[in-house]
């Protein structure tokens, strides 16, 4: 058939093109037109636009019965509960595993030939990982181990984060923070602050933004490339965004204060972070945290050790306690949002992640041993950093509870966490 | 929202970055590129305070439309021909999306400009958004479309199917190898800047024409994020160009990235748009026309060519050759024909073409019928089981092709097939550019220059190898493409859901065993291989065997 022939049949094509209901509609329309005088048609008929024609296809669920017509659940993974959650449906198995269905293996590798998500990127082990990848060769077939093949795939983010929850939660947080700050601005609440408190906020509350930013980017965002399942990596990437958002919340709050409070030095936080000796311990440990190669160690050291011993010590046991006495009801709402991210969401997934590893049916002892080593490294580093912050406790006019009391509370919180995870309290905690 | 201007807010958040004083962040990914520390502004100018509510608002629109689609019985007017191909597309695309998220850290240490890292972190969470919103769309299809088979086992299928494996390159290429090659040139400069146009703009338009307005809703929402990602790629590209030592690597990577994207994306999206649609209006754009507009004009001429003045060596020859493949050598038609030849190894139903389709193809691609018409008539004739085998085993003048070792699309434009021995194995390549990618580009030295960070092509790259000598019923069972009655195949070469018209394992049991072209090739002597090659390149178009010598 030639192009000319095809073009010649154009009208036929259009005529047969249209599904039945549309044919009827067209026929009715044609009849209506036929009844009009030719001149009137010319005036009133717009040229027919070329648009796709809807057709009745009856392609909705339940229209027919046939094999699989009611099989409306994903059949490639076992849900944690009886029925797959929405979160599981959009998360599980997106990141493939050669031990499951990835029959041809990874297709692109690094220079050393390793592709995908090597399990050796952490010293932690989950049951089944010592079994080799199923060997594939001419005539081997493609079958892998039965799902889940190894214990890493058992992890589910208890926060069930996926795109809808991420944006809903964080949009609510930023809206609320903006409203709180705007109310304070309108009420001229910043005028009630003690002068020393202004200095404290510009320097020290400001300095904390650097911790959140550095860890959010170079620890958490970095780690989300490295864990063996999509469930791990998505949870870690959400954690990263909490940190980055909190860092920006603090920065933009700082900007508002620069605009609202005369003599508020909006750049003082940078000098404090760079030069103030009280902050150098925190900075040192934050930098050490971003230097960790093992992704699981990085998450553990940040969320199980650093956050309770340093983060919560500063945020909950200093800023939140000192603010009211110094006339400040705004800063706790900004800092509190970040505190809530950690305490209710980031810590929750971290505990679920490590709880599985610590109670792993094959590698519990191995994992505990490694974690004990991590604790022996990170606890003293974090305690040292915490102690170096002590001078901050004496700076506000209205004093918060004593540093030692705050540190005790932080240690007690940390010990509680270790107990919940069935881990031993390291001797370094008494330091 | 905030009373502070975006510019002021954005300027403020630049204060967050700090240079390490005591310890450097871990460096886990290598590159052979070199970057000088230079002030480079974050091109996104995105502040999370406005970003989260903006995305939430976009979500409201997407989920509102999803609700509306169900309440308005959208699936009563969705074309099955179209939605069946979505079983393939939506099984593939969530992995590339999430891989783009995973790719961002590759740039943190290799591109030493903290100003750019803010944009990369936002891209990271954008990609988490895209992956899960697309999974959600697929879930909705599974729950509401007439035939859930293929959606319900989607991610298993994607991982072991030969089409899914072709698509998987679009993900794995982002996250491995040289960090800049992968996360910048392949991902942002080529895949996102050039090919998301046909993926997320052209294809959704076709979905709408086939009664599905949900896919455009989701994918346009996704595409509205892509423009920011394109800015990320552009900023990194300009930084790389600033160092002349990078120009050789950029030339290499653009050639690889362009050609691989063309081979993979044009194969898949071209097939969906041309063979998955029922909209045969003569004035609707063909894939070739879309490609010319979105990729050749918008990307190549408007984006890439102006970069020449900065020293970028643009692969003009490969871009013209891609067009040549699409327009003159029938690349998309050859791929669609192959996908349908191998329907039994897939997990969706593939509708035969009709006279109406033939006329449209002939109008848009003059000469199409002479090449492909007879084969499609045979496909239609052989679509329901009636004492014959699936088309791949029947004499329809179609020679089963060898796979390309690089892009893994078979060597369908027969005259272009080349062979090479690599690491002791004889491999076939669909085109010289794919041979070059494997044999020259993905190597630790390139044109005499040490490239120790360049990645490798790994894996069992020919799908058939694993099933060499197997009975087809066992192959399909092993892959899991069987419906819940234990015998009816998920895939069918037609849309008829009458169980009596559907192919089952019993039909496949009677077929000849599967033979791996690559295994067979490697069993040949060098002379036989040479003769095989000489014969192969005389074959085609439309898979026709080489004419017998007179």
CA distance B222 to B59: 10
Beta-strand runs (E) in A131-252: none
For an interface test with B, give the residue of A66, A182, A254 to mutate (most B CBs within 10 A).
A66
Domain boundaries of chain A, sorted by first residue: 163-430
Q: Which residue has the tokens 């819940």?
A: B484
Could B172 and A106 be called an inter-chain contact, meaning their C-beta atoms sit closer than 8 Å?
yes
Q: Which chain B residue has its CA at the smallest distance from A230's CA?
A: B98
Could B94 and A94 be called an inter-chain contact, meaning their C-beta atoms sit closer than 8 Å?
yes
Positions of chain A with pLDDT under 50:
1-38
B307: contact with A, CB 8 A cutoff: no
Q: Which residue has the tokens 């936002």?
A: B122
* Answer CATH for A163-430 from 1.10.620.20, 3.30.200.20, 1.10.10.10, 3.40.50.620: 1.10.620.20
Q: Are B497 and A64 in contact (CB under 8 A)?
A: yes
What is the token pair recorded at B279? 């909209």
Q: Which chain B residue has its CA at the smallest distance from A73's CA?
A: B152
Distance from CA of A244 to the nearest CA of B (A): 8
CA distance A58 to A223: 47
Question: Residue A306: CB partners within 8 Å, gap ≥ 6?
Answer: A285, A286, A289, A378, A382
Question: Residue B180: CB partners within 8 Å, gap ≥ 6?
Answer: B31, B33, B107, B110, B111, B236, B240, B249, B253
What is the token pair recorded at B19? 């240079």
Could B458 and A109 be called an inter-chain contact, meaning their C-beta atoms sit closer than 8 Å?
yes
- Give the model's pLDDT for residue A429: 87
What is the token pair recorded at B427? 């491999």
Could A269 and B15 be called an inter-chain contact, meaning their C-beta atoms sit closer than 8 Å?
yes
Q: What ipTM describes this predicted complex?
A: 0.96
Query: A35: how many CB neighbours lie within 10 A of its CB?
Result: 8
Q: Is A64 helix (H, G, I), strand (E, B) or coil?
A: coil
Helix, strand, coil % in chain A, rounded to nearest 5: 65, 0, 35
Q: From the centroid of its chain, how far is CA B330?
A: 17
CA distance A255 to A267: 9
CA distance A69 to A60: 11
CA distance B79 to A429: 65
Could B172 and A90 be called an inter-chain contact, meaning their C-beta atoms sit closer than 8 Å?
no
Q: Which of A398, A269, A257, A390 is nearest to A322 (CA)?
A: A398
Could B155 and A290 be called an inter-chain contact, meaning their C-beta atoms sit closer than 8 Å?
no
Distance from CA of A48 to the nearest CA of B (A): 13
Count of A–B CB contacts within 8 Å? 426
Could B469 and A109 be called an inter-chain contact, meaning their C-beta atoms sit closer than 8 Å?
no
Query: Quick check: bond before B31 cis, omega within 30?
Result: no
Q: Which chain A residue has its CA at the smallest distance from B151's CA?
A: A74
Distance from CA of B16 to the nearest CA of A (A): 6
B449: contact with A, CB 8 A cutoff: no
For an interface test with A, give the residue of B49, B99, B515 to mutate (most A CBs within 10 A).
B49
Residue numbers in A near B284 (CB within 8 A): 50, 52
Could B77 and A54 be called an inter-chain contact, meaning their C-beta atoms sit closer than 8 Å?
yes
Residue numbers in A near B499 (CB within 8 A): 66-67
Residue numbers in A near B55 (CB within 8 A): 167, 171
Q: Are B477 and B485 in contact (CB under 8 A)?
A: no
CA distance B25 to A215: 10
Q: Is B429 helix (H, G, I), strand (E, B) or coil?
A: strand
Q: What radius of gyration do chain B's Cα atoms show?
A: 24
Positions of chain B with pLDDT under 50:
1-2
Q: What is the largest CA-CA distance in chain B?
A: 83
């Amino acid at each position: 058939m030639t192009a000319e022939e095809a073009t010649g049949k154009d009208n036929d094509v259009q005529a047969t093109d249209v599904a039945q209901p549309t044919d009827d509609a067209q026929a009715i329309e044609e009849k209506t037109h036929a009844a009009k005088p030719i001149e009137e048609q010319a005036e009133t008929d717009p040229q027919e636009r070329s648009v796709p024609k809807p057709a009745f296809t009856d392609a909705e669920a339940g229209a027919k019965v046939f094999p699989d017509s009611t099989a409306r659940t994903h059949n490639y993974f076992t849900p944690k509960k009886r029925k797959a959650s929405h979160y599981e449906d959009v998360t599980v198995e997106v990141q493939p595993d050669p031990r499951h269905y990835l029959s041809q293996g990874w297709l692109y590798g690094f220079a050393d030939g390793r592709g995908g998500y090597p399990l050796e990127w952490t010293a932690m082990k989950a049951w089944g990982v010592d079994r080799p990848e199923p060997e594939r060769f001419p005539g081997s077939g493609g079958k892998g181990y039965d799902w889940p093949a190894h214990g890493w795939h058992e992890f589910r983010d208890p926060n069930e984060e996926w795109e809808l929850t991420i944006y809903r939660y964080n949009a609510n947080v930023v809206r609320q923070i903006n409203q709180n700050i705007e109310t304070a601005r309108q009420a001229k609440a910043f005028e009630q602050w003690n002068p020393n408190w202004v200095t404290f906020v510009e320097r020290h509350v400001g300095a904390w933004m650097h911790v959140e930013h550095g860890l959010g980017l170079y620890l958490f965002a970095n780690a989300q490339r490295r864990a063996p399942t999509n469930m791990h990596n998505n949870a870690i990437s959400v954690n990263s965004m909490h940190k980055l958002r909190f860092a920006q919340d603090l920065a933009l709050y700082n900007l508002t204060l620069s605009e609202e409070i005369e003599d508020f030095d909006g750049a003082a936080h940078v000098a404090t972070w760079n030069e103030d000796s009280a902050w150098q311990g925190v900075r040192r440990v934050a930098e050490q945290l971003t230097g960790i190669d093992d992704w699981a160690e990085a998450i553990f050291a940040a969320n199980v050790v650093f956050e309770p011993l340093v983060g919560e010590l500063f945020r909950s046991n200093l800023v939140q306690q000192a603010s009211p006495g110094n006339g400040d009801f705004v800063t706790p709402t900004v800092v509190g949002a970040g505190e809530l991210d950690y305490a209710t969401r980031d810590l929750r997934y971290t505990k679920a992640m490590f709880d599985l590893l610590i109670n792993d049916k094959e590698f519990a002892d191995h994992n505990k041993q490694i974690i004990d080593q991590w604790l022996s490294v990170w606890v003293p580093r974090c305690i040292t950093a915490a102690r170096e912050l002590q001078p901050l406790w004496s700076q506000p006019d209205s004093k918060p509870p004593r540093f030692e009391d705050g540190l005790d509370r932080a240690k007690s919180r940390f010990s509680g966490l270790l107990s919940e995870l069935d881990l031993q309290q390291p001797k370094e905690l008494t330091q | 929202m905030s009373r502070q201007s975006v510019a002021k807010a954005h300027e403020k958040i630049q204060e967050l970055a700090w240079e390490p004083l005591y310890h450097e962040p871990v460096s886990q990914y290598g590159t052979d590129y070199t970057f000088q520390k230079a002030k480079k502004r974050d091109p996104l100018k995105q502040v999370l305070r406005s970003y989260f509510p903006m995305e939430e608002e976009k979500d409201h629109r997407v989920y509102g439309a999803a609700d509306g689609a169900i309440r308005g019985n959208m699936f009563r007017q969705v074309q099955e021909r179209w939605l069946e191909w979505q079983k393939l597309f939506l099984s593939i695309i969530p992995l590339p999306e999430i891989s783009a998220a995973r790719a961002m850290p590759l740039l943190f240490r290799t591109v030493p400009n903290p100003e750019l890292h803010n944009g990369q972190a936002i891209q990271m969470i954008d990609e988490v958004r895209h992956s899960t919103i697309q999974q959600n769309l697929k879930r909705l299809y599974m729950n509401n479309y007439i035939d859930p088979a293929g959606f319900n086992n989607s991610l298993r299928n994607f991982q072991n199917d030969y089409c899914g494996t072709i698509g998987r390159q679009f993900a794995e290429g982002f996250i491995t190898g040289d960090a800049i090659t992968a996360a910048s040139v392949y991902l942002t400069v080529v895949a996102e800047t050039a090919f998301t146009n046909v993926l997320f703009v052209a294809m959704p338009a076709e979905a709408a024409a086939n009664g599905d307005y949900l896919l455009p809703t989701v994918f346009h929402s996704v595409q509205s994020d892509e423009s920011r990602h394109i800015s990320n790629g552009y900023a990194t590209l300009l930084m790389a160009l600033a160092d002349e030592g990078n120009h050789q690597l950029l030339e290499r990577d653009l050639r690889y990235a362009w050609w691989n994207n063309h081979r993979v994306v044009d194969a898949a999206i071209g097939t969906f748009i041309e063979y998955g649609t029922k909209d045969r209006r003569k004035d609707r754009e063909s894939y070739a026309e879309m490609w010319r507009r979105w990729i050749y004009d918008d990307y190549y001429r408007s984006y890439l060519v102006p970069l020449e003045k900065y020293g970028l060596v643009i692969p003009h020859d490969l871009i013209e050759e891609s067009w040549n493949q699409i327009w003159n050598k029938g690349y998309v038609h050859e791929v669609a024909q192959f996908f349908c030849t191998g329907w039994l190894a897939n997990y969706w139903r593939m509708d035969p073409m009709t006279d109406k389709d033939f006329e449209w193809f002939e109008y848009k691609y003059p000469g199409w019928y002479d090449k492909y018409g007879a084969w499609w008539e045979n496909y239609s004739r052989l679509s329901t089981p009636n004492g014959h085998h699936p088309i791949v085993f029947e004499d329809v003048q179609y020679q089963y092709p060898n796979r390309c070792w690089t892009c893994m699309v078979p060597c369908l434009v027969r005259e272009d097939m080349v062979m090479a021995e690599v690491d002791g194995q004889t491999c076939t390549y669909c085109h010289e550019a794919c041979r070059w990618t494997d044999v020259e580009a993905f190597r630790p030295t390139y044109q005499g220059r040490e490239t120790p960070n360049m990645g490798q092509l790994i894996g069992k790259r020919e799908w058939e190898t694993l099933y060499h000598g197997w009975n087809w019923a066992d192959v399909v069972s092993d892959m899991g493409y069987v419906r819940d009655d234990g015998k009816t195949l998920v895939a069918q070469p037609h849309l008829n859901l009458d169980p009596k018209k559907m192919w089952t394992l019993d039909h496949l049991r009677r077929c000849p065993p599967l033979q791996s072209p690559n295994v067979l090739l490697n069993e040949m002597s060098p002379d036989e291989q040479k003769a095989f090659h000489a014969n192969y390149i005389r074959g085609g178009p439309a898979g026709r065997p080489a004419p017998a010598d007179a």
